[in-house]
Amino acid sequence: MKHPSPQAPARAEHPRGPVALSHVSLLGIGSSVPERRLTNADLARLVDTSDEWIRTRTGIGERRILAEGQVTSDLGAEAARRALANSGIAPEAIDVVLVATATPDQPVPCTAAFVQEKIGARNAMGFDVDAGCTGFLYALQVGRALIASGAYGNALVIGADALSLLTDYQSRETCVLFGDAAGAVVLGRERGRARITDMQLGLDGRGAHLIQVVAGGTARPTSAETVAAREQYLRMNGREVFRFAVDKLAGLTRELCARNQLELDDIDLVIPHQANGRILDAAASALELPPERMFCNIEHYGNTSAATIPLALDEALRQGRIGAGQRLILAAFGAGLAWGGALLEFEAD
């Protein structure tokens, strides 16, 4: 094992002592998707479906899928490198690496260990957070709290998932929905691009059965029988999840506004978890929000689980959809059932 050389860049000295949660800032962002594309036409060769059905019922045109030999931490590390470059912070100066994932490289150790090694964040502690499609927002809140406590100066928060691993390509109900990707942000206590001024998270285990992989854990260890029954793949109750998702997206957005004394008109853009274009349309219409203020890039990537929010945020920033002086809401939902929302306020130039 290599130890840090004496020439390694000195670790940045962070001011210590607690700060208000609302002072934790986003310092940089990056994302990464695999090269390989899986189109609706490709899926129509595997199961009884069509491009027309998939587009009208989900809004998805294609997804990106890991190449042979590529793993979740490869995507996470690339997104992290881009976020670090964007923030101007060296990997050695990172204190915490958090990886939100439901599809780790291996059961043990955590994927954060592989990402840390790949990017050279050798002074960081790190661990994984599993909250399904809400994982990135859960990890964001953990990173934010660690920084606000004064224990750590900064954190790299990554959402990386390869749901292609959990997808049953014999099931037309699920295989059309998912893709692979990663997105990452650097958080710190100094002034950055945006402050995360409020967050709200929730979990309702009564809905645990609505999105699940039944085999591979202590409840049902992997066996020849579980593999024969295809229980290593993700199953869900699409209709119930759809209803829950529309209510949660609209509810979270309203609540974040109300508890921050804001009107919906004060929010320049909502970036929701990308699960189904129709869910986003229904939530926008329930909120009476013009469609252009509900960000949607699902056509190109499908549902990439913990990666959808940082990937969409990165794209929205690159497209100039959000910037200086504006307010943004991030909102996610998924397995658990878990949900989460964040209010971001961009600094004026």
Ligand X SMILES: CC(C)(COP(=O)(O)OP(=O)(O)OC[C@H]1O[C@@H](n2cnc3c(N)ncnc32)[C@H](O)[C@@H]1OP(=O)(O)O)[C@@H](O)C(=O)NCCC(=O)NCCS
Instruction: State the catalytic residues.
Output: 133, 273, 303
Q: Does 206 bind ligand X (CB under 6 A)?
A: no
Give residues 69-128 in contact with ligand X (rule: CB under 6 A): none
Q: Which stretch binds ligand X (CB under 6 A): 156-164, 197-205, 240-248, 313-321?
A: 240-248
- Answer for the pair 102, 67: CB distance below 8 angstroms, yes or no: no
For residue 119, the 8-state DSSP code is H
Figure out which of the listed residues 164, 276, 297, 304 binds ligand X, where binding follows CB under 6 A: 276
Q: How far does CA 220 lie from the centroid of its chain? A: 27
Distances from the Cα of 185 to the Cαs of 51, 65, 161, 225, 243, in angstroms? 34, 22, 15, 41, 30
Residue with tokens 């594309």: 37
Q: How far is the CB of 280 from ligand X (least distance, A)?
A: 10
Minimal CB distance residue for ligand X: 238
When computed from its CA atoms, the radius of gyration of the chain, rounded to whole angstroms, is 20
Q: Which stretch binds ligand X (CB under 6 A): 5-13, 33-41, 122-130, 236-244?
A: 236-244
Q: Does 53 bind ligand X (CB under 6 A)?
A: yes
Number of residues that bind ligand X (CB under 6 A): 20
Distances from the Cα of 242 to the Cαs of 71, 250, 289, 333, 334, in angstroms? 29, 13, 19, 10, 10
Figure out which of the listed residues 93, 165, 241, 270 binds ligand X, where binding follows CB under 6 A: 241
Give residues 303-342 in contact with ligand X (rule: CB under 6 A): 303, 334
Torsion of CA 142, 147, 151, 157, to 10 degrees: 50
Nearer to ligand X, 21 or 46 (CB): 46
Q: Which stretch binds ligand X (CB under 6 A): 88-96, 237-245, 261-269, 284-292?
A: 237-245
Q: Does 202 bind ligand X (CB under 6 A)?
A: no
Q: How far is the CB of 76 from ligand X (least distance, A)?
A: 19
Taking residue 216's Cβ as centre, other Cβ atoms within 10 Å add up to 15
Nearer to ligand X, 21 or 286 (CB): 286
Q: Does 234 bind ligand X (CB under 6 A)?
A: no
Figure out which of the listed residues 60, 275, 280, 329 binds ligand X, where binding follows CB under 6 A: 275
Figure out which of the listed residues 39, 49, 232, 326 binds ligand X, where binding follows CB under 6 A: 49
Helix pair 277-287, 238-259: axis angle to 10 deg? 40
Q: Which stretch binds ligand X (CB under 6 A): 99-107, 239-247, 260-268, 318-326?
A: 239-247
Taking residue 181's Cβ as centre, other Cβ atoms within 10 Å add up to 33
Three-point CA angle 41, 45, 51, nearest 5°: 30
Q: Which stretch binds ligand X (CB under 6 A): 66-74, 75-83, 144-152, 232-240?
A: 232-240
Q: What is the chain's length? A: 349
Identify whether 310 is preceded by a cis peptide bond (ω within 30 of 0).
no
d(CA 268, CA 130): 30
Q: How far is the CB of 245 from ligand X (least distance, A)?
A: 6
Nearer to ligand X, 92 or 168 (CB): 168
Distances from the Cα of 129 to the Cαs of 101, 110, 143, in angstroms? 6, 9, 11
Q: How far is the CB of 267 from ligand X (least distance, A)?
A: 22
d(CA 297, CA 188): 28
Q: How far is the CB of 49 from ligand X (least distance, A)?
A: 3
Give residues 142-181 in contact with ligand X (rule: CB under 6 A): 172-173, 176
Q: How far is the CB of 53 from ligand X (least distance, A)?
A: 4
Nearer to ligand X, 173 or 292 (CB): 173
Taking residue 236's Cβ as centre, other Cβ atoms within 10 Å add up to 18
Binding residues vs ligand X (CB under 6 A): 49, 53-54, 57-58, 133, 172-173, 176, 211, 236, 238-239, 241-242, 245, 275-276, 303, 334
